[in-house]
Amino acid sequence: MSDDNKQAFNLEDDSDLNDNEVFHSDEENNKKNQDNQWIDELRLALKGGCDLGSIRSIGKCRSLTDDLRLSVWKTCLNINDINEYDYVDSDVFDLPEQNLIREDVLRLVRSLKINKDIEASRLSDIEAVLTFYCKKYNENYEKDNGWIDMLKPLVTLDYKNRAELYALFVSIRNRYIPRFCETDGMPFHLFRLLLLYHDPELCSFFDTRKITPDLYAHIWVRSLYAGTCSSDVTLHLWDGYFQHADQFFIFFLALVLLMFAKEQLFEMVDKEKNEVIDFISKAPANLTTDDLEDFCSLANHYASNTPQSFRKEFCSCLFDETDRTTSQKAYSVQQALCLPVSAKELLQANQLGGKEGVRYFIVDCRPAEQYNSKHLYTAFHLDANLLLEDPKEFGGTVDALRATQKHSIEA
């Protein structure tokens, strides 16, 4: 995405140069020192045992220096020397899929091009962590499940032992990787509703081609973008991500990626389905570290302009292993015609008033008996069941709805 334009200067006679052309001015040096003050402040805070709030206040989700990254991540992920997830070290590698794990670990370590002296220890560490994780959580290792991709940035850190590496891996998975990231999984249905809310045209583009989010965003979500971004970009992206500490931020980053590619996608209207999927799935690979500030800023924009009640509705079933309402909520999100917004949030937004924002009216899509039982005074009734039960009546109701909408706009 970024296009760095550099100019070359041929200096034939340095006698014509003045100090300002060769050296930084005092003003530039002062600005540079000021820009780095937060690094020193953060370093001091870490030595004093700060918390996530302090790190966020000082760091402001900015990229970190290599020497601070591990300490900041551990604080943001609430990892300390006491609660390292009860890791039990072992060199017993006896899982049925052990050969697959070993092959993927070897491929990962070789791709890092690290010092030969530590390559063997890294191989052993990663295999031990994955093996113990599978045994403890009764999980089966599968190729392209995102685990190896998540470990790639972690093994570049100067972690002290396997327990610390394991703690980092498990904490990131538990906090930020949604459950049920599988084909037709709930996170992807929810993401489609977010896309429908923010860009119905782009959502329709995918729907008409039967391109569901799990076909292109699977590895984005399961690896927290480490599976498609370069290692350098992943490190800097995670710097800000862990400071921001928003479990749903992964969805808004995905929205921005689609918006970045929107024009090119519309130009692919005559392309085969697989070509479109291949193109969009590789979108994060185009990111550079220079893009990240705008990338995350736009994601924040979408997050702040999205109704917040969906977070409360789906947070526990996506990120809490103890939630027992998952199947019910998964069904509701799969059947939803649009992003669900609570009545409480609608009323609060209406009470706050203000001249800014989109003018809208409420369409109540519940069955007739529920609508007649109780509804908001200004809500227009559109029984979604009629779409299947009586398409002709549904069409007439939609026409009436459009007439009401037109009248509201003209009013």
Query: What mean pLDDT comes out for the span 99-111?
Result: 94
Same domain for 304 and 199, yes or no, is yes
Please tell me the predicted confidence (pLDDT) of residue 401.
82
Ranking 54-58, 209-213, 379-383 by mean pLDDT, the lowest is 379-383
Query: pLDDT, tens digit, for every residue of 1-51?
Result: 544 433 333 333 444 434 444 344 455 555 555 568 999 999 999 999 999
* Over residues 257-273, mean pLDDT: 95
Residues 229 and 149 in one domain: no
pLDDT value at position 5? Answer: 38
**Where does the pLDDT of residue 332 fall: very low under 50, low under 70, confident under 90, or very high at 90 and above?**
confident
218 and 319, same domain (yes or no) = yes
**Which residue, of 12, 36, 60, is where some domain finishes?**
60
Question: Is residue 138 scored above 80 in pLDDT?
Answer: yes
- Final residue of a domain: which of 176, 194, 212? 176
My answer on whether 153 and 191 are in the same domain is no
pLDDT band at 215 (very low <50, low <70, confident <90, very high): very high
CA distance 380 to 187: 30
- In this structure, what DSSP letter does residue 15 have? G
Give strand pairing partners of 363. 380
Domain-terminating residue out of 136, 154, 176: 176
DSSP code per residue over 185-208 = -HHHHHHHHHHHHH-HHHHHHHHH
Place of tokens 């479990």: 247
List beta partners, residue 380.
363
344 part of a folded domain = no
Residues 320, 244 share a domain: yes
Residue 138: partners with Cβ closer than 8 Å, 6 or more residues away: none
In a domain, 133, yes or no: yes
What is the per-residue pLDDT for 282?
A: 96
The answer to whether residues 392 and 301 belong to one domain is: no
The mean-pLDDT minimum among 85-89, 140-144, 148-152 falls in: 85-89
List pLDDT tens digits, range 43-76.
999 999 999 999 999 999 999 999 999 999 999 9
- Are 156 and 250 in the same domain? no
In a domain, 348, yes or no: no
Q: For 292-301, how does the pLDDT look when each residue is reduced to its tens digit (9 = 90+)?
A: 999 999 999 9
Domain extent at residue 107 = 65-176
Q: Cα-Cα-Cα-Cα dihedral of 211, 215, 217, 221, to 10°?
A: 140
What does the pLDDT average to over 213-223? 96
335 or 230, which is more confident: 230
Residues 193 and 331 in one domain: yes
User: Is residue 193 located within the same domain as residue 285?
Assistant: yes
Instruction: Please report the pLDDT score of residue 156 as a whole number.
Output: 93
CATH number of the domain that residue 252 is part of: 1.10.472.80
Same domain (yes/no): 228, 259: yes
**Tens-place pLDDT, residues 85-99:** 678 888 889 999 999
pLDDT, mean over the chain: 86
The pLDDT of residue 7 is: 36
Q: At 398, which helix (H) or strand (E)?
A: helix 391-410
User: Would you put residue 228 in left (φ > 0), alpha (ψ -120 to 50) or beta?
Assistant: alpha
Whether 211 is in a domain gets the answer yes
- Give the count of domains, the chain: 4
* 406 lies in some domain: yes
Q: What percent of the chain has pLDDT over 90?
A: 58
Per-residue confidence band for 157, with pLDDT thresholds at 50, 70 and 90: very high
Region 310-324: mean pLDDT is 82
Confidence of residue 313 (pLDDT cuts 50, 70, 90): confident
- Whether 238 is covered by a domain: the verdict is yes
Residue 351 lies in a domain: no
Q: Tell me, yes or no, whether 386 and 365 share the same domain.
A: yes
pLDDT per position as a tens digit, 334-360: 888 888 888 888 888 777 765 555 566
Residue 343 lies in a domain: no
Q: What is the pLDDT of residues 192-203, one digit of tens each?
A: 999 999 999 999
How much is the pLDDT for 324? Answer: 66
Average pLDDT of the segment spanning 310-335 = 78
Mean pLDDT on 300-326:
85
319 and 379 inside one domain: no
* Mean pLDDT, residues 357-380: 80
Give the number of other CB atoms < 10 A from CB of residue 270.
6
pTM score, two decimals? Answer: 0.80
